[in-house]
Structure 1
Amino acid sequence: MVITLLYVLIFLLTLLLFHLVKMRSEVPRKRAKLPPGSMGWPYIGETLQLYSQDPNTFFASKQQRYGEIFKTHILGYPCVMLARPEAAKFVLVTQAHLFKPTYPKSKERLIGPSALFFNQGDYHIRLRKLVQGSLSLDAIRNLVADIEAVAVSASSSWSSGQMINTFHEMKKYSFEVGILAIFGHLEACLREELKNNYSIVDKGYNSLPTNIPGTPYKKALLAREKLSKILSDIVSERKEKKLVENDLLGCLLNSKDDKGEVLRDDQIADNIIGVLFAAQDTTASVMTWIVKYLHDEPKLLEAVKAEQMEIRRLNEENNQPLTWRQTRNMPISYKVVLESLRMASIISFTFREAVADVEYKGYLIPKGWKVMPLFRNIHHNPEFFTDPQKFDPSRFEVAPKPNTFMPFGSGIHACPGNELAKLEILIMVHHLVTNFGWEIVGSESGIQYGPFPVPRNGLPARFWRESITC
């Protein structure tokens, strides 16, 4: 009898324990809360506030009020903005599979949906390897003499005494370097056709996306069709002549996937235009800022000039052009480039989209919301860069803390052409300071966004040739 009661008691206790566990499992988990912030007006959100003031002020004021994770609503989308290095790493590196790159469809139409930065997965991995391979250190080390020739040609009219738009001139230079990296030595008439039509696409890229005839966007769509035709002709000629080149086009043409399939002509065209787009305005913006920063810091300019003049002296003594090894040994100039990238922060932020509900630091990032790591906020945070508003290249004598300096992005979608960009900037710096003096025209300072930050009015300046004896 006692044993029977004991079994019953054990059974009842087991049943009670099972019931308690079941009840506990059925208690709904507390859903993570949205980050603090303001969503603004219906639909338009805070877009007007963002575009009616300096974006730096907009982001900085939000961070000051709400902290380093906050929500807003811009360009028709709810967004979560992140201003910490570890948050940027979470989105772009460690949990990158939870966030896909995202761009407005209007912009995708102009560049092409098969472009590298609109994709992810196996196709993205394949294209990234191709682009990275064609722009690797081994690939670009042979371009030094050609890039220097482009710099000489691009600046040939600067010494006339006329005022020039520095940003526009640097865009011409970076476009020609892009053409060189993609096609090698391309016929002048084809280069001109590509330049003219790409310029129209470039002007329409950030315009109101409407198909009304005569609008910048409609003109850009028509120019994009012409670009496709020009690129198709170039590709056909390469295929017909069976040319084997080491430039980007050669890499794209010679690529086969696991099934032995080659890239379609439209995929090749989209990626060529994508590389041109990624390479031109961003690099030109940095070079324009360098012209301004060196102008504003005479002692620094003298130090850079002394470094570059020593290289010029050696080359004139040995009757040789600028070499790859020399571009890798310009410590003062290189730190100027790095500090310019930090100060200007040409890529102020990047867009990602959550592919699932994501919880970070106790906050919910809902599926479908845009996520924006704020590179500029991180680059200008005094916690990581002392006196961040001061232009001080010496700060790069010590490597920045991990994930605090991301001028080319981070993770699998980081810019694959960053080494080419730094190389062409250093070559331009060498050519600039060893051949020219310059003054900025007008006292008006400030920044304009289109969308990348450049000095107001493109930095009007006058250049003159300096006869310097080494």
Structure 2
Amino acid sequence: MWNTICLSVVGLVVIWISNWIRRWRNPKCNGVLPPGSMGFPLIGETLPLIIPTYSLDLHPFIKNRLQRYGSIFRTSIVGRPVVISADPEFNNFLFQQEGSLVELYYLDTFSKIFVHEGVSRTNEFGVVHKYIRSIFLNHFGAERLKEKLLPEIEQMVNKTLSAWSTQASVEVKHAASVLVLDFSAKQIISYDAKKSSESLSETYTRIIQGFMSFPLNIPGTAYNQCVKDQKKIIAMLRDMLKERRASPETNRGDFLDQISKDMDKEKFLSEDFVVQLIFGGLFATFESVSAVLALGFMLLSEHPSVLEEMIAEHETILKNREHPNSLLAWGEYKSMTFTLQVINETLRLGNVAPGLLRKALKDIRVKGFTIPKGWAIMMVTSALQLSPSTFKNPLEFNPWRWKDLDSLVISKNFMPFGRGMRQCAGAEYSRAFMATFFHVLLTKYRWTTIKVGNVSRNPILRFGNGIHIKFSKKN
């Protein structure tokens, strides 16, 4: 009898598991789902997505599925159903539907690191989003760059390159991360790396290392270390905010000053929300710029003709100055036509962020398929930026291509800083920082590549073993 009972229980368990797997592989939908596979239960197709690939081309996970299923397909990442789109028309449509058909969305690893205790008001559209964009533009937008930041960036770059020139070699990805984060943190929280007991650049670097890992929070995992570092920075920022709130007469003129004062006027600015916003703002300002600068060194080393034209452009700027030793002016920055083309081309190839995530607020019909309400949608901007139909020989580093590209084509197929209402408020700041860095580098220094490691994606751009450069001052 006991054997019969055991066999019956085992049979019921097998039937239940089989039905569960069938439902997993065939999700409910009020229509026809896009083609694709949901992968294994719970983990979905996460593992093939995070396997490194050593190329600037699209990650094979995305490229192979686009070739097999077309420009829109379904999958599952860390147990969440996701529709991936490389269709420029559909993506452009979604950018226009922010707040009605879709909202901002994060996968588990990102949301658990960047959203504290359930705070997720960065999703909200309207007043909150308008405020967030406005305050970041106040401190990093074009007007702030013109009035204050551009000369300060140049002075910081001068000081940094002078220090780098005294070293046998510099690993530029890490060193650039320190440079950018220290400068941005000074504007946001008046951070002084020399006086601080906490190295923000080191901590954020560890967070990046665990960022694309599977969200398994057990000791010894990259994600566990990521969570610990996030809590450490959150605690530091919370203490700083409380200190500013307790001493409102202190005026440092930074981002933290403004937002702490605004907390008395805006009800949505809770302590948790402000701390989380600053944490995310610091992250956003440092990773993409440092990655593009590092990739720029690698590409310029391989393309001397590009480097020669850049040097000529910056030497012309010096020749046209009334006072040769004056700091970089806004008009000079905007005149760097070729340098900005080089930056665009590096951003296009770098694809630091593999895609932009949204969540469907309603069932969405597209090309005969239905994306169910609640599903995530990843708009794969990297696929658009490497499309041979838009960019001839897309894996070729060719800054001159930007002279002939139509502005409408660019707007629909090149979006390294996002698009629509969610476009990064720091886009101009990032470009100005990189252009200023190259201006100081090319007019005052020589550099030699000592060692280049491997560039990989998982799918975020990584620099294995780094890019090591020797700097020296020009005579």
Instruction: Identify which of 421, 424, 430 aligns with 2:433.
Output: 424
CA deviation vs aligned residue, 1:306-332 (integer Å, no higher than 9, x gap): 111233455584441222222121111
Distance of aligned partners of 1:188 and 1:235 in 2 relative to their CA distance in 1, 3 Å threshold: farther
Taking the aligned partners of 1:57 and 1:215, their CA distance within structure 2 comes to 25
Distance of aligned partners of 1:72 and 1:271 in 2 relative to their CA distance in 1, 3 Å threshold: same
State the Cα distance separating 1:32 from its structure 2 match.
3.3
Distance of aligned partners of 1:362 and 1:212 in 2 relative to their CA distance in 1, 3 Å threshold: closer
CA deviation vs aligned residue, 1:37-76 (integer Å, no higher than 9, x gap): 2333333332232233535222122112211111222221
Distance of aligned partners of 1:47 and 1:210 in 2 relative to their CA distance in 1, 3 Å threshold: closer
What amino acid does structure 2 have at the position aligned with 1:449?
R
Is 1:94 aligned to residue 97 of structure 2? Answer: yes
8 Å contact from structure 2 (residues 450, 470) kept in 1: no
Q: What residue is the counterpart of 1:138 in the other structure?
A: 143
Distance of aligned partners of 1:69 and 1:203 in 2 relative to their CA distance in 1, 3 Å threshold: closer
Bigger shift: 198-207 or 390-399? Answer: 198-207
Is 1:127 aligned to residue 108 of structure 2? Answer: no
Taking the aligned partners of 1:187 and 1:45, their CA distance within structure 2 comes to 42
8 Å contact from structure 2 (residues 237, 275) kept in 1: yes
8 Å contact from structure 2 (residues 103, 359) kept in 1: yes
Q: What residue is the counterpart of 1:33 in the other structure?
A: 32
What amino acid does structure 1 have at the position aligned with 2:396?
K
Is 1:335 aligned to residue 341 of structure 2? Answer: yes
8 Å contact from structure 1 (residues 256, 263) kept in 2: yes
Taking the aligned partners of 1:195 and 1:310, their CA distance within structure 2 comes to 35
Q: What residue is the counterpart of 1:407 in the other structure?
A: 416
Gaps spanning 5+ residues in structure 2: where?
1-28
State the Cα distance separating 1:91 from its structure 2 match.
1.9
- 1:209-358 mapped onto 2 (5 Å cutoff): 209-213=215-219, 215-239=221-245, 240-244=247-251, 246-255=253-262, 261=267, 263-313=269-319, 317-358=323-364
8 Å contact from structure 1 (residues 102, 352) kept in 2: yes
Taking the aligned partners of 1:325 and 1:158, their CA distance within structure 2 comes to 28
CA deviation vs aligned residue, 1:107-140 (integer Å, no higher than 9, x gap): 3343334477455454333322222333221122
Distance of aligned partners of 1:151 and 1:118 in 2 relative to their CA distance in 1, 3 Å threshold: farther
**Radius of gyration: which is bigger?**
1
Is 1:46 aligned to residue 55 of structure 2? Answer: no
State the Cα distance separating 1:77 from its structure 2 match.
1.9
Distance of aligned partners of 1:138 and 1:120 in 2 relative to their CA distance in 1, 3 Å threshold: same
State the Cα distance separating 1:173 from its structure 2 match.
1.2
* SS of residue paired to 1:189: coil
8 Å contact from structure 1 (residues 288, 454) kept in 2: no
State the Cα distance separating 1:147 from its structure 2 match.
1.1
Give the TM-score normalised by structure 1: 0.83
* SS of residue paired to 1:439: strand
CA deviation vs aligned residue, 1:214-234 (integer Å, no higher than 9, x gap): 654444444434323432343
Distance of aligned partners of 1:90 and 1:202 in 2 relative to their CA distance in 1, 3 Å threshold: same
Taking the aligned partners of 1:358 and 1:191, their CA distance within structure 2 comes to 50
The number of residue pairs the alignment matches comes to 436
Bigger shift: 222-231 or 419-428? Answer: 222-231
* SS of residue paired to 1:291: helix
* SS of residue paired to 1:390: coil
Taking the aligned partners of 2:474 and 2:460, their CA distance within structure 1 comes to 35
Q: What residue is the counterpart of 2:26 in the other structure?
A: none
* SS of residue paired to 1:378: helix
State the Cα distance separating 1:150 from its structure 2 match.
1.9
Distance of aligned partners of 1:184 and 1:307 in 2 relative to their CA distance in 1, 3 Å threshold: farther
8 Å contact from structure 1 (residues 436, 463) kept in 2: no
State the Cα distance separating 1:276 from its structure 2 match.
0.8
Is 1:158 aligned to residue 164 of structure 2? Answer: yes
Taking the aligned partners of 2:131 and 2:98, their CA distance within structure 1 comes to 20
Distance of aligned partners of 1:96 and 1:392 in 2 relative to their CA distance in 1, 3 Å threshold: farther
8 Å contact from structure 2 (residues 452, 465) kept in 1: no
Q: What residue is the counterpart of 2:174 in the other structure?
A: 168
Gaps spanning 5+ residues in structure 1: where?
1-29
What amino acid does structure 2 have at the position aligned with 1:423?
A
8 Å contact from structure 1 (residues 161, 462) kept in 2: no
CA deviation vs aligned residue, 1:285-342 (integer Å, no higher than 9, x gap): 1111111111111011011011112334555844412222221211111111111111
8 Å contact from structure 1 (residues 179, 191) kept in 2: no
Q: What residue is the counterpart of 2:10 in the other structure?
A: none
Instruction: Identify which of 64, 83, 87 aligns with 2:86.
Output: 83
Q: Provide the aligned C-alpha RMSD in A.
A: 2.9
* SS of residue paired to 1:406: coil
Of all paired residues, the percent bearing the same amino acid is 28
What amino acid does structure 2 have at the position aligned with 1:99?
V
Taking the aligned partners of 1:72 and 1:210, their CA distance within structure 2 comes to 20
Is 1:452 aligned to residue 464 of structure 2? Answer: no
Taking the aligned partners of 1:322 and 1:338, their CA distance within structure 2 comes to 21
* SS of residue paired to 1:387: coil
Bigger shift: 127-136 or 240-249? Answer: 240-249
Give the TM-score normalised by structure 2: 0.82
* SS of residue paired to 2:378: strand
Taking the aligned partners of 1:229 and 1:74, their CA distance within structure 2 comes to 30
Bigger shift: 224-233 or 295-304? Answer: 224-233
Q: What residue is the counterpart of 1:370 in the other structure?
A: 376
